[in-house]
Amino acid sequence: MGYLTLAGAILSEVLATTAMKYSDGFSRLWPSVCTAAGYLLAFFLLAQTLKTMSVGTAYALWAGVGTALIAVIGMVFLGESASALKMLGVLLVIAGVVVLNLDGAH
């Protein structure tokens, strides 16, 4: 159950961050509302996750997967550059999450 709530928290955070891009500095109402609601839901779900999962494991997954997804969304949907160096950076973030979780998997 912990991984399911964590996945929901990550998805909510990624959607909130994407909505923030469209909020135009919080000057547009609905993207701003979606940003706030998304972050509230993300933190609620993360708090539920921490009842059953170590904070190090949960936060490594939260930060790493969220960062990788936002980078991919930026490159695929928002016209950001997709250089080899940027792709390497995303792969290194994912590798870091995997390494941090190797000890937490016991």
C-alpha separations of 55 from 32, 48, 51 in Å: 29, 11, 9
Q: Using one digit for the tens of pLDDT, what is the confidence trace for 13-51? A: 999 999 999 999 999 999 999 999 999 999 999 999 999
65-88 pLDDT, tens digit each? 999 999 999 999 999 999 999 999
Residue 88 sits at φ, ψ, to 5 deg, of -60, -40
pTM: 0.88
Domain positions in the chain: 2-104
